[in-house]
Chain A
């Protein structure tokens, strides 16, 4: 062992191969620059194995591979095989087995005079402490562990060869950097201090600097898990396509499994009906927490040109980031219906009401421009409504049931300009047309939906705001059964008139009476409103 000590002292001999502080810092800087340029791509896989080569020194200033000195030529090299496997969060188990060799060569005879070797077989833990903060593939770590060290010294003298072996226990602590070039290959720099015989003062203890390569395998380590994907909207109705821009099509339940806070972004699009990707934006997901993230989509207006049902795919990409990035893709099939399809929900019927379409505005304004009577200003809405209804009647607009389409469960609703062109429609078509015309004059309207449990088919008609306040209700009718009083958002009450739009051929007066009678009997006397099978839904 004395000889070993002497050999080690030769490490301090200055020579041209010596790796000093300057070289060490320069290499580290180059590695950092490379890692900064290369953007993050993969995420550590759970398993890796690699090989490292390097040198050994008593302290950081004395690394050298080859040297010449007073005692002859010297060499100090190390080779390690290592294996790591993921333990928990940022922690990995690691096992290192290698050889650290130190040789002294006689300069004159060029014969090896002494070889000192260590064979560490150490088992420990590694922590990628910047795993969720590191901006790229650059992944620093620290590690520690313990295990047996086999020490062997072979001394060649004139008298012969003398070999000494000893088994020592020791431990190590160190740090290092992985530079991931791909998700399966990395470059590695590793610096460890080995406390052989569990002692700093031990003559064999010292630093070991190595450079190596790693090969990774196994499923990329996930930082989140998609627990569930719930499709909220499986049927897309083009008439209310912009409604979906703010309404989630699905909910993705994402759980943070990283063991540290991450950010999650959900991207989605419906192929082939949305050309742009909708992003949820990065949402913070604290350690261990689960969140429902809404999935939305941006539909282009050309979706309204679809004339028949077509299948589509909702593509969802969930991206989690915490220094490194992890993405997962899922997709679901949805159905895009025809432009005239309606899912039967009366509140959605508002999307067919188009008071701003040129044909509608022209129709209503041409009519009301002829009604000029300041004396009747309080009931002008009723006069407008009457005039429009009677004009539609005069133009021969009539009730016509929807066509029977086999295997087609949707109701079909015509847009107002289509009903005007076709000259006919069923209850929802006529109601939508009349609502559009009244709304184009600024008259508020609401649908009355009747789903009488005693009748098979649902029915729809319209009520509109006469603009007459409750105080003046007697101006509208002497019979209170002909209207209803409704409160607006400003807590002001006004008189609303029911109109049975299917009676288009019989004129406004008959349609009003029928509407009032329907409302009286169904909503009030048969308790339809309180039982919920009669609903009044404002057109918005």
Chain B
């Protein structure tokens, strides 16, 4: 029986993962760019283009983009956000469970502080005309933690809760989670709560409070919200 269950999960994962995700850009406003696959360059996005799972989309301070899935549903990415199209792939409970289990099994203590970015020596290794300094500065300019956070909030707001959880975990793996006074931990807790995972939600809320104590954040909004969440869960 257990084997059958495992086979079922495996097959469902294969089927799920083998369907390539594509989204159509149906409207843009302001500054919207995309990066195709493994390219270095960012390109301007126009309505009507198709973005694939391997691509990344980014909005400027005044930018906004609406994406359409193959089933006709929409996803809106607000200003100053960055998101991998792969992060929009529908994630079911089983996939989320396996993802979280995988992280538990391979759990390696990551440093909680963000890796400081340093500009090193200039090099040209890609055969392109752009040197690393330019690329690095472009990265610093475009792929800011603020944009990443806004991308996550967009996922949360449009009820992509498993995707929110997975994205936050990926950021957590890179050690970039504690810069926001526990805000992302709050979204993590809330997403877990909304998909009925109270244990993990409680754990995330507690990290919001602990994170604020450690980091001495002046902002207490997330602490309040997390405390409310804990109370709510305890009453259930």
Interface of A is mostly: helix
Closest beta carbon of chain B to A361's beta carbon, Å? 24
- Cross-interface CB contact of A531 among B10, B40, B53, B123, cutoff 8 Å: B10
Q: Is A386 part of the contact surface with B, judged by Cβ < 8 Å? A: yes
Give per-residue flags for A464-500: 1 if the beta carbon is below 8 A from chain B beta carbons, else 0.
0000001110111111011000000000000000000
Q: Which residues of B are found within 8 Å of A531, using beta-carbon distances?
A: 10, 13-14
B54: Cβ under 8 A from any A Cβ: yes
A507 within 8 A of B: yes
Give a binary string over B86-114; 1 marks a CB under 8 Å from any A CB, 0 the rest.
10000000000010001000000000000
A527 is an interface residue with CB less than 8 A from chain B: yes
> Which A residues lie within 8 Å of B126 (CB)?
477, 509, 512
In the bound complex, residues from chain B placing their C-beta under 8 Å from that of A377 are: 121
DSSP majority for the B interface? Answer: loop
Q: How large is the interface on A (under 10, 10 to 19, 20 to 34, 35 or more residues)?
A: 35 or more
Distance between Cα atoms of A481 and B86 in the complex (Å): 12
B2 at the interface (CB under 8 A from A): no
Query: Please, how many angstroms separate the alpha-carbon atoms of A526 and B37 in the complex?
Result: 15
Q: Contact mask B112-148 → A, CB, 8 Å, 1/0?
A: 0001111111110111100010011011000000000
Q: How many residues does chain B have at the interface if contact means C-beta atoms less than 8 Å apart?
A: 33
Give complex CA distance A294, B39 in Å. 53
Q: What is the distance, in angstroms, from A452's C-beta to the closest C-beta of chain B? A: 10
List residues of chain B with CB within 8 A of the CB of A433. none
Which residues in A have their C-beta under 8 angstroms from that of B73?
none
A454 at interface (Cβ–Cβ under 8 A)?
Answer: yes
Compute how far the CA of A471 lies from the CA of B115 in the bound complex, rounded to whole angstroms: 7
Cross-chain contact of B135 among A454, A478, A526 (Cβ < 8 A) = A478
B135 touches A378 (CB 8 A): no
Q: Please indicate the chain B residues that have their CB under 8 angstroms from the CB of A513 in the complex.
A: 37-39
Verify if A202 is at the interface (C-beta below 8 Å from B).
Answer: no
CA distance A524 to B125 in the complex (A): 25
State whether the Cβ of B3 lies closer than 8 Å to any Cβ in chain A.
no
User: Do B125 and A476 have beta carbons less than 8 Å apart?
Assistant: yes
Question: Across the two chains, which residue of chain B brings its CB closest to A517?
Answer: B38
Contact B118 A471 (CB under 8 A): yes
A376 within 8 A of B: yes
Tell me whether A453 and B115 are in contact in the complex, defined as CB-CB below 8 angstroms, given that A475-B120, A509-B126 are known contacts: no
Among A375, A482, A526, A530, the residue within 8 A (CB) of B122 is A375
The closest CB in chain A to the CB of B138 belongs to: A478
Pick from A386, A474, A521 the residue with the most CB of B within 10 Å. Answer: A474
Task: Closest A residue to B10 by CB, please name it.
Answer: A531
Q: Which residue of A lies closest to B102 (CB)?
A: A530
Given A377-B121, A378-B121, A525-B86, A479-B10 contact (CB < 8 Å): no
Instruction: Mark each residue of chain B from 191 to 209: 1 if its CB lies under 8 Å from any CB of chain A, else 0.
Output: 0000000000000000000
Q: Which residue of B lies closest to A526 (CB)?
A: B17
**Quick check: is A32 within 8 A (CB to CB) of the other chain?**
no
Question: Complex formed: what's the CA distance from A508 to B127 in Å?
Answer: 8
Which residues from chain A contact B70 at a C-beta distance below 8 Å?
A: none
* Interface: A438 (CB within 8 A): no
Interface flag for A516 (CB, 8 Å) = yes
How far does the Cβ of A134 sit from chain B's closest Cβ, in whole Å? 57
- Chain A residues 381 to 416 lying within 8 A of chain B, measured CB to CB, are 382-383, 386
* B35 adjacent to chain A (CB < 8 Å): yes
Q: Are A478 and B118 in contact (CB under 8 A)?
A: no
User: Closest CB-CB distance, A453 to chain B, in whole Å?
Assistant: 7
Report the bound CA distance from A478 to B127 in whole Å.
14
**0/1 string, B3-23, CB within 8 A of A gives 1:** 000000010011001100000
Which residues of A lie under 8 Å from residue B117 when comparing CB positions?
474
Enumerate chain A residues within 8 angstroms of B40, measured Cβ to Cβ. Answer: 477-479, 482
A60 at the interface (CB under 8 A from B): no
Contacts of A517 in B (CB 8 A): 37-38, 54
Could you give 10 example pairs across A and B, Cβ below 8 Å? Answer: A375-B122, A375-B123, A376-B121, A379-B123, A379-B125, A471-B115, A474-B120, A474-B132, A525-B54, A527-B13
Chain A residues with CB under 8 Å of chain B are 375-379, 382-383, 386, 453-454, 470-472, 474-479, 481-482, 507-509, 512-513, 516-517, 520-521, 525-527, 530-531
A471-B116, A479-B39 are known; give 12 further A-B pairs, CB within 8 A: A376-B121, A472-B118, A474-B117, A479-B40, A507-B127, A516-B38, A520-B38, A520-B54, A521-B54, A525-B53, A527-B13, A531-B14
Interchain residue pairs A-B with the least CB separation, the first 3: A509-B127, A478-B135, A516-B38
